[in-house]
C-alpha cells in the first residue's frame, strides 16, 4: 500500500496525469511545459505475474528479448500536439496501449463516486467483478450482428415493397415482348426482304429490259459483240495486240451471255408475292410499334428485352436474398438470446456475491445497518439489447428494516463516497489486474472511519499494489511506503514538482 500525500496544488495530479498519458489518455498540448519542445513520459511494469500481458505482448511481437518480465511504456507529446506511443521501444497505436493497460493497472479517479450513479458504470463493475466481462462483450457483438442483419432485412423488404409496382409492370412488358420475340438479326432480314418484295414488279420489268438489251433486241449487246468479233477476224494482221483485242471481245461475248442467263434465272424467282409482302410488313410493323412504345430504336429492342429480363431476375433474386437473410436474422437472434441468457445467469450469481461483500465492507466503514444490492431489471417484453436482457441498478439502504432504493436517490454524499470505496476495494480483491490507483477515494471520510480505510487499504496492499492519493493522515500512516509530493519554487523561474 503506497499512499501519496501533499498539499493542495503541490502537483499530485501531475503524477496521475502522467500515468494516464502513458496509458493512452487523450493528449493535450497544454501538458507540455511552456518553452519546452516536447514532453516524454515513461512507465515500467513488472509483468512476471501477469500472464495475460505477456501473452498479449507475445502475440504482437512486442516482448523485450532481454527482460521478458518487464514492460516499458513510453509516450511522447510535442508542443504542436503530435504524440507517439511505444511499448518496449517499438511504436504502437494508442488503441494498443489502452488494450495493454487493461491488463496492467486499474485507475479509479476522484470522481468515481459520481460515475457510480450511472447505470452503465454499475453494469460494467458487476460484470468485471463476476469475471464475465468477456461474455458481456460477446453478447454485445452478437447483438451488433443481429442488429445489422435485421436492418439489412428491413431495407430489403422496404425496397421490395417499393418494387412491387415495378415488378407488375415488368411482368406485363415481358409477357408482351416474349410473345413478340424481337431479334436484331431477324429485323435486318425482314427489312431486306420487304424492300425486295415491295419492288418486285418494277424490278422484273427492269430486268426484262436488261435481258432484252443483252440478247433479244435487234441491236442486242451479244449480237453487236459478235459482229465486232467477226469484223476483226477479217483483219489480216498477226500483230499480238490485235490478237489480244480479239480475245477480250470473245471474253466479253461469253460474259454478256452468262449475265443474260443469270438475269433470266433471277427474274424467274422474282415473281411478286403480295401475301408474303403483307406478312413481312405486318411483322415489321409490330416490331416498330413495340420499339416506339418502349422508346428505343427497332434494332435495340432485343437488347432492351434482355435488360428487362435481367431486372426481373434481380427482383426474383431479391426475394431469395430476403428469405436467406430472414434465416440469418433468426439464427443471429437465437445466438444472441443464448448468450444473453448465460449473461443473466452469471449476473444473478455475481450480484449476490457483490451485495454480500460490499455490505460487509460498508459495515467496516461505519455503516452498521447498511444494505447494498445490485438489482437486475429485465427489459419489457423480453427485449434484448447490446447489454443483455436487463439493466443493472445499484440499490442501498442505510437503516435496518428499510428496503434498499436507487443509490442516487437514497445515499448521501458521505455514504456515496464510502459505497464507492467499498466497491473499489471489493472489486480490487477479485481483479486479476495487479495494480490499483485510487485518486482521493477517501474523500468525505474522517475520524475512526479514516483509520478503518487505512487498514482496509493496507490489507488490500498485501495482495495487490495500491497507490492512493489521500489527504488523511490516518490513511497515509498505514502505508507500507509513503510518498510525499511537494512543489519547489525557490528562486527558479519555473516551479518544479518533486516526489
- For the residues of 307-330, what is the DSSP string, one character each? HHHHHHHHHHHHHHHHHHHHHHHH
* 172 contacts 165 by C-beta, under 8 angstroms: no
* 423 contacts 411 by C-beta, under 8 angstroms: no
For Cα atoms 406, 408, 409, give the angle at the middle one, nearest 5 degrees: 70
* 492 contacts 471 by C-beta, under 8 angstroms: no
How far is CA 209 from each of CA 178, 197, 198, 217, rounded to the nearest angstrom? 46, 19, 19, 9
Q: What is the largest CA-CA distance in the chain?
A: 156
Q: Residue 25, Cβ neighbours under 10 Å: how many?
A: 18
Pick from 383, 410, 378, 380: nearest CA to 394: 410
Q: Cα–Cα distance between 141 and 404 in angstroms, integer?
A: 33
Pick from 264, 267, 269, 266: nearest CA to 214: 264
How far is CA 272 from each of CA 186, 206, 262, 372, rounded to the nearest angstrom? 21, 14, 19, 108
Residue ranges in the chain whose pLDDT is less than 50: none
Find residue 74's DSSP bridge partners. Answer: 42, 86
For Cα atoms 85, 90, 96, give the angle at the middle one, nearest 5 degrees: 50
How far is CA 10 from each of CA 96, 131, 383, 438, 482, rounded to the nearest angstrom? 32, 38, 51, 18, 16
For Cα atoms 51, 55, 58, give the angle at the middle one, nearest 5 degrees: 135
283-289 LR contacts (CB < 8 Å, sep 24+): 283/190, 284/187, 284/190, 284/191, 284/194, 286/180, 287/180, 287/182, 287/187, 287/190
* 477 contacts 6 by C-beta, under 8 angstroms: no
Q: Cα–Cα distance between 42 and 72 in angstroms, integer?
A: 7
User: Residue 96: what pLDDT?
Assistant: 93
Q: What cell numbers appear for 445 in the block?
A: 471520510
Q: In this structure, are strands 90-92 and 83-87 parallel, antiparallel, or unpaired?
A: antiparallel
Task: List alpha helices for 35-77, DSSP H.
Answer: 51-59
- Within its chain, how far is the Cα of 174 from the centroid? 38
Sheet arrangement for strand 106-108: 106-108, 435-439, 465-469, 2-5, 483-484
Phi, psi of 36 (to 5 degrees): -90, 155
Pick from 221, 259, 222, 229: nearest CA to 245: 229
Element (H, E) at 120: helix 119-129
Q: What cell numbers appear for 109 in the block?
A: 479517479
User: Residue 308: what pLDDT?
Assistant: 83
User: Residue 336: what pLDDT?
Assistant: 94
User: Residue 422: what pLDDT?
Assistant: 86
Q: Which residues contact 20 (CB under 8 A, 6 or more apart)?
A: 107
How far is CA 287 from each of CA 32, 169, 173, 180, 241, rounded to the nearest angstrom? 81, 20, 14, 8, 60
* 182 contacts 302 by C-beta, under 8 angstroms: yes
User: Residue 316: what pLDDT?
Assistant: 64
Q: What cell numbers appear for 165 in the block?
A: 409496382
User: Residue 393: what pLDDT?
Assistant: 94
Q: Cα–Cα distance between 174 and 311 in angstroms, integer?
A: 11
Q: Cα–Cα distance between 478 and 454 in angstroms, integer?
A: 6
Amino acid at each position: 500500500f503506497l499512499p501519496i500525500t501533499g498539499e493542495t496544488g503541490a502537483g499530485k495530479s501531475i503524477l496521475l496525469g502522467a500515468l494516464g498519458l502513458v496509458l493512452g489518455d487523450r493528449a493535450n498540448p497544454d501538458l507540455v511545459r511552456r518553452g519546452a519542445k516536447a514532453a516524454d513520459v515513461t512507465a515500467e511494469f513488472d509483468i512476471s505475474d501477469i500472464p495475460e500481458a505477456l501473452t498479449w505482448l507475445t502475440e504482437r511481437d512486442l516482448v523485450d528479448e532481454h527482460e521478458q518480465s518487464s514492460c516499458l511504456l513510453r509516450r511522447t507529446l510535442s508542443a504542436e500536439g503530435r504524440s507517439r506511443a511505444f511499448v518496449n521501444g517499438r511504436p504502437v497505436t494508442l488503441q494498443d496501449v489502452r488494450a495493454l493497460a487493461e491488463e496492467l493497472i486499474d485507475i479509479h479517479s476522484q470522481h468515481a463516486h459520481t460515475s457510480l450513479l450511472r447505470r452503465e458504470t454499475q453494469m460494467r463493475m458487476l460484470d468485471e467483478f463476476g469475471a464475465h466481462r468477456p461474455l458481456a462483450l460477446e453478447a454485445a457483438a452478437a447483438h451488433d450482428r443481429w442488429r445489422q442483419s435485421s436492418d439489412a432485412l428491413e431495407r430489403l423488404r422496404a425496397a421490395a415493397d417499393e418494387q412491387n409496382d415495378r415488378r407488375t409492370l415488368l411482368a406485363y412488358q415481358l409477357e408482351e415482348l416474349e410473345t413478340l420475340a424481337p431479334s436484331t438479326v431477324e429485323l435486318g432480314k425482314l427489312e431486306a426482304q420487304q424492300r425486295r418484295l415491295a419492288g418486285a414488279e418494277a424490278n422484273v420489268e427492269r430486268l426484262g429490259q436488261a435481258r432484252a438489251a443483252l440478247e433479244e433486241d435487234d441491236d442486242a449487246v451479244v449480237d453487236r459483240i459478235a459482229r465486232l468479233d467477226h469484223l476483226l477476224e477479217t483483219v489480216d494482221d498477226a500483230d499480238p495486240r490485235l490478237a489480244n483485242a480479239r480475245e477480250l471481245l470473245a471474253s466479253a461475248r461469253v460474259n454478256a451471255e452468262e449475265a443474260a442467263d443469270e438475269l433470266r434465272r433471277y427474274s424467274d424467282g422474282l415473281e411478286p408475292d403480295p401475301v408474303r409482302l403483307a406478312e413481312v410488313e405486318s411483322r415489321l410493323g409490330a416490331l416498330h410499334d413495340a420499339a416506339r412504345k418502349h422508346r428505343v430504336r427497332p434494332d435495340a429492342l432485343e437488347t432492351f428485352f434482355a435488360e428487362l429480363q435481367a431486372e426481373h431476375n434481380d427482383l426474383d433474386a431479391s426475394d431469395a436474398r430476403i428469405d436467406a437473410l430472414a434465416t440469418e436474422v433468426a439464427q443471429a437472434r437465437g445466438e444472441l438470446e443464448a448468450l444473453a441468457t448465460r449473461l443473466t445467469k452469471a449476473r444473478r450469481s455475481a450480484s449476490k456475491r457483490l451485495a454480500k461483500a460490499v455490505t460487509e465492507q460498508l459495515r467496516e466503514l461505519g455503516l452498521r445497518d447498511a444494505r447494498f444490492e445490485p438489482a437486475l431489471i429485465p427489459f419489457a417484453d423480453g427485449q434484448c439489447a447490446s447489454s443483455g436482457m436487463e439493466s443493472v441498478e445499484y440499490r442501498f439502504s442505510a437503516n435496518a428494516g428499510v428496503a434498499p432504493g436507487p443509490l442516487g436517490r437514497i445515499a448521501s454524499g458521505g455514504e456515496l463516497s464510502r459505497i464507492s470505496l467499498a466497491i473499489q476495494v471489493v472489486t480490487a480483491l477479485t481483479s486479476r489486474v495487479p495494480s490499483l490507483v485510487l485518486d482521493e477515494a477517501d474523500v468525505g471520510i474522517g475520524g475512526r472511519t479514516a483509520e478503518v480505510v487505512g487498514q482496509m487499504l493496507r490489507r488490500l496492499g498485501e495482495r495487490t499494489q495500491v497507490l492512493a492519493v489521500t489527504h488523511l493522515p490516518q490513511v497515509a500512516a498505514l502505508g507500507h511506503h509513503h510518498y510525499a509530493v511537494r512543489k519547489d519554487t525557490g528562486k527558479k523561474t519555473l516551479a518544479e514538482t518533486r516526489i
